[in-house]
Structure 1
Amino acid sequence: MSNGEVKKGSLVALFPLLVFVLLFIGSGILTKDFSSMPLNVAIIIAGAVALAMNRKEKFAKKIDIFTKGAGHPNIILMAVIFILAGAFAGVARGMGAVESTVNLGLSLLPANYLMIGLFVIGCFISISMGTSMGTVVALAPIGVGIASQTDIPMALAMATVIGGAMFGDNLSMISDTTIAAVRTQQTKMKDKFKVNFLIVLPGAILTAIILGVITSGNTATLTGNYEYELLKILPYIAVLVAALAGVHVLIVLIGGTVFAGLIGMVDGSYTISSFLQAVASGIISMEDLAIVAILIGGVVGIIKHNGGIDYLLYFISSKIKSKKGAEFGIAGLVSVADIATANNTISIVITGPLAKSISDEYGVDPRKSASLLDTFSSCWQGILPYGGQLLAAAGLASISPVSIMPYSFYPILMALCGIIAILIGYPKFQETVKTVEVPLVVEEDPALVSDKG
């Protein structure tokens, strides 16, 4: 099968995903309590449904497919990041890092600018380090501290962190999503960055304005001076500096945990025993999310094997009739792939070759197609309640990931900016179509005109 061809797939294969969404989100809507259906139970039921389908395959074969999907390197890495993020957050919280960091922020910025500051910092960090997950686990504890000591809703603080994280994930030169988009569309990194930046910048500006407006009446609940110790803030500074320096997120989190523990032992907050207990407690707090991530990977593996992903790709690609339709098709392809897989990098890798064929056929500039792939995969990743970013933030804040969704201003605005860019043909590109000079007397040398380019 060539890059431009897609199997028809099977609509029925998507049934486990529908079951999961109905159980997790549907039950929350009906009961008005999104904790009524635990996320892990919903995904286990969906997994059981997936394994029960496709009776042509032996059960042992389906288990093998499930475990391979669950054990995908990206899935396991996400699970490990969850666990280490929990360890770092637990240790930092126990030695007073969160309180000192928040109080420093409160002492430097008026309360109504805190969310704008958190969003801008998130944008800068994520675009520098190239990972939304790394940004979330580094900034979420600070957001938790701000929300707990002000009138700002916890869900708003977490959505602000995620918004900043998705800004950089979509644009960073070292982001895996950016690299995947550029490689599949065969364009240059800097060219894609320029186009993508022009598309999403209005969304980032509007997000900052919205955050300023809705938190303008906020008042801090702390009394007296905002006391902080710079020594206790060093773990967060170290984590951010290491991340910006390009250190792998796992090393950043392990190093940050050890560093926070050492500072805690120096100032008397920890003994060796209590430090290890804090690490263990932090890990346990995120174990559930790690298991959920692995189970989601397994269910997606079954869905893909049964033709669910192929069906989505075929259905959308068959509806494309024009250049503008091609751009919407590319956006739709990567959107449904991300909704189905809850992983923006994987969704780009899956849809990238087909998007390239579509862009070539309908004359879509590769800079634009690469930007659309990255923009629409990232916007959904910042909205999905079962995506890694929302799961991590919700876990660190001890809230439901669904509660974050109404405050996901930047991901929603990112999608709107992408749609508007398609509708108005923005940005404009210089024509790069190659022309072929044809001799006046073509009969004398037919070979010169055999290729119509």
Structure 2
Amino acid sequence: MSNNKVKKGSLIAFLPLLVFVLLFIGSGIVTKDFSNMPLNVAILIASAVALMMNRKETFIEKVDIFTKSAGHPNIILMAVIFLLAGAFAGVARGMGAVESTVNLGLSLLPANLLMVGLFVIGCFISISMGTSMGTIVALAPIGVGIAAQTDIPVALAMATVIGGAMFGDNLSMISDTTIAAVRTQNTKMKDKFKVNFFIVLPGAIVTMILLGILTSGNVAELAGDHPYEFVKILPYLAVLVAALSGAHVLVVLVGGTIFAGVIGLMDGSYQLSSFLQAIAEGVMAMEDLAIVSILIGGIVGIIQYNGGIDYLLRVITSKIKTKKGAEFGIAGLVSVADIATANNTIAIIITGPVVKRIADEYGVDPRKSASLLDTFSSCWQGILPYGVQLLVAAGLAAISPVSIMMYSFYPVLMGICCVIAILIGYPKFKEVG
């Protein structure tokens, strides 16, 4: 798609997304409470705006465009994956997998490397659970407890928890950001993981070194025993191994849910009825995200029909001359989307189709474009003071989210590693047949 083949397009086509951002973020800034405007309500209003635009087309024709785009196989599969990921997370949590995983980490935590250990535990838990929020909720109280026993700032402890949480949010096989990045770029989970892991690994290592230096001399014994049952950690390990082995994500999630349920039934954590209820609750927890992803698919379809995608491609491609430039363009695009929406999954869903077209045009490997999407959206999400991760951690620790920002080492280093990977052309891919 060279520049002379790109239609001029229209900037006004992006009005629905602008309305969404103003409603969702604007209301939070004005009221100082980002929960005042529910995400699904904001996207419904934006959908209505999309359907009211372009009076050259009849309302019925616009509805047809919207529903066909919302019902695209990739969008529907993504929604199903979200629901199954919720089911697995709900069942694993209900049978005690989260508690056992956290306690295993605590039992291994070295007394003289508390923040380093907390970061490593956060990485392991988040990559196992696939959720930054779940990791933060589980570990934030522990971070507060460590800070209370030492002179380590509470804000540093919360930033450490968030860093570990974003490591897994960026890499986990069952993370909604990974699912969205992989689906929109038409690549495989295990392939994206391998590329992404080696890009961000130096950032994680440098983070551990920084934490070790900054907190050296701070020693505290964590009170109490931390009992865990290794068998309850097996579902997370099984999902990770199955996904890395190349099993289809639907098989991985259904198998993981059944495996966790069987363990729960055998040890008495579940009766059959409570097992089924845990599945239902997990699915319901992800319903909003599934619905929002479907509606965004419809909005993006309208935006594309009205020339918005052509406009964006024209503007971006006019500045891009090389594959390296295309990669920076992808990074900038998803970064702006995440800063605007304060939601890395939504940012990936919105920009994914455009990124795919840019990647195809300039020969960017889909494994790399998926990694860029996920990494840059996740790094901003770990820094934004109005992002839900910092807001939750700050709320649990009773501090300002702004105070956490100065200690957000890993999210910043994750972005730096990705920039370096673009500059040096890492990784080198073999030609895909």
TM-score, structure 2 as length reference: 0.71
1:163 is aligned to 2:167: yes
Superposed CA offset, 1:317-366 (max 9, x none): 2245x76xx7445522564378396236534321124334xxxxxxxxx7
The verdict on how the C-alpha distance between 1:168 and 1:233 changes in structure 2, with shifts beyond 3 A counting, is closer
Shift of 1:306: 1.0
1:283 is aligned to 2:283: yes
Shift of 1:214: 7.8
1:346 is aligned to 2:353: yes
Residue 342 of structure 2: aligned partner: none
Structure 2 CA distance, aligned partners of 1:258 and 1:284? 18
- Which among 124, 129, 138 is matched to residue 145 of structure 1? 138
Work out whether residues 129 and 236 of structure 2, in 8 Å CA contact, stay in contact via their aligned partners in 1: no
Partner of 2:6, secondary structure, is coil
Deviates more, 1:333-342 or 1:281-290: 333-342
Work out whether residues 199 and 426 of structure 1, in 8 Å CA contact, stay in contact via their aligned partners in 2: no
Work out whether residues 123 and 167 of structure 2, in 8 Å CA contact, stay in contact via their aligned partners in 1: no
Deviates more, 1:201-210 or 1:75-84: 201-210
1:112 is aligned to 2:109: no
Shift of 1:419: 4.7
Shift of 1:168: 8.2
Deviates more, 1:249-258 or 1:334-343: 334-343
Deviates more, 1:65-74 or 1:38-47: 65-74
The verdict on how the C-alpha distance between 1:210 and 1:163 changes in structure 2, with shifts beyond 3 A counting, is farther
Structure 1 CA distance, aligned partners of 2:297 and 2:217? 42
Superposed CA offset, 1:221-253 (max 9, x none): 974211112222222222222222222222222
Work out whether residues 243 and 249 of structure 2, in 8 Å CA contact, stay in contact via their aligned partners in 1: yes
1:261 is aligned to 2:261: yes
Residue 377 of structure 1: aligned partner: 373
Letter in 1 for 2:357: I
Letter in 2 for 1:112: M
Letter in 1 for 2:120: G
Partner of 2:225, secondary structure, is coil
Shift of 1:23: 1.2
Shift of 1:120: 5.6
1:336 is aligned to 2:333: yes
Residue identity (%): 53
Structure 2 CA distance, aligned partners of 1:112 and 1:256? 31
1:272 is aligned to 2:269: no
Work out whether residues 89 and 282 of structure 2, in 8 Å CA contact, stay in contact via their aligned partners in 1: yes
Structure 2 CA distance, aligned partners of 1:414 and 1:310? 31
1:431-442 mapped onto 2 (5 Å cutoff): none
Structure 2 CA distance, aligned partners of 1:50 and 1:350? 22
Work out whether residues 80 and 290 of structure 1, in 8 Å CA contact, stay in contact via their aligned partners in 2: yes
Residue 91 of structure 1: aligned partner: 91
| Structure 1 vs Structure 2 CA RMSD | 4.5
Letter in 1 for 2:373: S
Structure 1 CA distance, aligned partners of 2:219 and 2:19? 42
Structure 2 CA distance, aligned partners of 1:70 and 1:213? 50
Letter in 2 for 1:257: T
The verdict on how the C-alpha distance between 1:55 and 1:159 changes in structure 2, with shifts beyond 3 A counting, is farther
Deviates more, 1:296-305 or 1:71-80: 71-80
Structure 2 CA distance, aligned partners of 1:303 and 1:384? 25
TM-score, structure 1 as length reference: 0.68
Work out whether residues 151 and 219 of structure 1, in 8 Å CA contact, stay in contact via their aligned partners in 2: no
Structure 1 CA distance, aligned partners of 2:96 and 2:172? 29
Structure 2 CA distance, aligned partners of 1:307 and 1:57? 14
Residue 301 of structure 1: aligned partner: 301
Structure 1 CA distance, aligned partners of 2:222 and 2:359? 50
Shift of 1:97: 1.5
Structure 2 CA distance, aligned partners of 1:232 and 1:221? 26
Work out whether residues 334 and 348 of structure 1, in 8 Å CA contact, stay in contact via their aligned partners in 2: no
Structure 2 CA distance, aligned partners of 1:74 and 1:335? 24
1:51-62 mapped onto 2 (5 Å cutoff): 51-62=51-62
Superposed CA offset, 1:70-104 (max 9, x none): 22223222222221222222222222111111111
Structure 1 CA distance, aligned partners of 2:367 and 2:246? 23
The verdict on how the C-alpha distance between 1:200 and 1:268 changes in structure 2, with shifts beyond 3 A counting, is closer
Structure 1 CA distance, aligned partners of 2:198 and 2:209? 18
How many residues of Structure 1 are paired with residues of Structure 2 in the alignment? Answer: 382
Superposed CA offset, 1:40-80 (max 9, x none): 11111111111111111111111111112222223222222
Residue 40 of structure 1: aligned partner: 40
Letter in 1 for 2:248: H
Shift of 1:150: 4.0
Structure 1 CA distance, aligned partners of 2:71 and 2:426? 43
Structure 1: unaligned runs, 5 residues or longer: 126-134, 183-188, 357-365, 386-390, 430-453
Work out whether residues 185 and 370 of structure 2, in 8 Å CA contact, stay in contact via their aligned partners in 1: no
Shift of 1:311: 0.6
Letter in 1 for 2:355: I
Work out whether residues 70 and 296 of structure 1, in 8 Å CA contact, stay in contact via their aligned partners in 2: yes
Deviates more, 1:212-221 or 1:108-117: 212-221
Structure 2 CA distance, aligned partners of 1:144 and 1:392? 12
Partner of 2:130, secondary structure, is helix
Structure 2 CA distance, aligned partners of 1:255 and 1:214? 43
Structure 2: unaligned runs, 5 residues or longer: 146-156, 338-345, 382-386, 428-433
Structure 2 CA distance, aligned partners of 1:381 and 1:428? 19
Partner of 1:382, secondary structure, is helix
